[in-house]
Structure 1
């Protein structure tokens, strides 16, 4: 009619489902379970991360900056002291979160960066020689001049601390009011 006379194209008519009950029945689930088996197990979530966005990336960038090639003039002891301070402070901020696995991952990243820093500073060093000179005996913990790379995992994660005796109540007097002034 009007559309045909003006040359417009119309979309094809919508398909109709007519009277086929087998098409309307629910299909079986692909993950079928036997009756009475309980709920379908859900995949577990990964580790919780510190809640501040970009916190992990920020600490990694700071570790990269401290172990960059422009810092190879420093002694290993200076580098370890600086990294220990940085990582311990960051971990103390986030120690009330569920973050122990994140701390271990940051320590692993830091260890790799420091090991590469040592290899670049001492270019002819083998892995065995690096372990003999810069690691604690029979371990891979980096130690130099008695200073050990402790990292973030050395900070204890504390959650749900009991503070009942430290919180003042209205019935307990303050220490200044309890002692006579004289």
Structure 2
């Protein structure tokens, strides 16, 4: 067919070393407490770095003269899409990290918006006296609260590719 392999895209490696594919890290690990090995898929470091960079850029691009709802709407849209893509894997640690990172960036943005306001006043005004920032209509999406959907059993819900003959 005239196809050729690209040297920089082609990787032959052992499953113990793992590989990155479409943002996923695929690697075999030893399961704790047993003598078994399983293949795990989780977000690659590059994927986590990319989404945290996007959150950072969004906080930098959104000026402090705009309301908090504008920033939260844009960040929530990015985080929801990223979490939906990586939900089927072993992603809870990555979700917690990204959620904590986004929280820290939003808090820094609020500190930049109100330089003379102390932490207690910021929490009272933008977090409702608690810890999670929210605007008038939008709250920050908590990526750490997203549940993964690994190992879904579909059983007979998968249709057979051949017709039922003789029945």
TM-score bracket, shorter-length normalisation: 0.5 to 0.7
Deviations 1:88-145 (A, max 9, x none): 11111111221111111111111111001001011111000001000034x2011111
CA distance in structure 1 between the aligned counterparts of 2:91 and 2:113, rounded to whole angstroms: 33
Residue 11 of structure 2 aligns with which residue?
none
Paired residue for 1:97, among 77, 81, 89? 89
1:71 match: secondary structure = coil
Q: Report the alpha carbon displacement of residue 146 of structure 1 after superposing the two structures with TM.
A: 3.2
Bigger relative contact order, structure 1 or 2 (CA pairs below 8 A, ≥6 apart): 1
Q: Report the alpha carbon displacement of residue 156 of structure 1 after superposing the two structures with TM.
A: 1.8
Paired residue for 2:70, among 71, 78, 93? 78
TM-score (ref. length: structure 1): 0.61
CA distance in structure 2 between the aligned counterparts of 1:79 and 1:70, rounded to whole angstroms: 6
Paired residue for 2:50, among 50, 58, 66? 58
Residue 160 of structure 1 aligns with which residue?
151
Q: After TM superposition, where is structure 1 displaced by more than 4 Å over at least 4 residues in a row?
A: none
Number of residue pairs the alignment of both structures matches: 125
Q: Gaps spanning 5+ residues in structure 2: where?
A: 1-32, 34-39
* Structure with the bigger percentage of strand: 2
TM-score (ref. length: structure 2): 0.67
Checking the alignment, whether the CA contact within 8 Å between 2:62 and 2:71 is kept in structure 1 is no
Q: Gaps spanning 5+ residues in structure 1: where?
A: 1-40, 42-47, 173-182
CA distance in structure 2 between the aligned counterparts of 1:143 and 1:51, rounded to whole angstroms: 27
Checking the alignment, whether the CA contact within 8 Å between 2:43 and 2:94 is kept in structure 1 is no
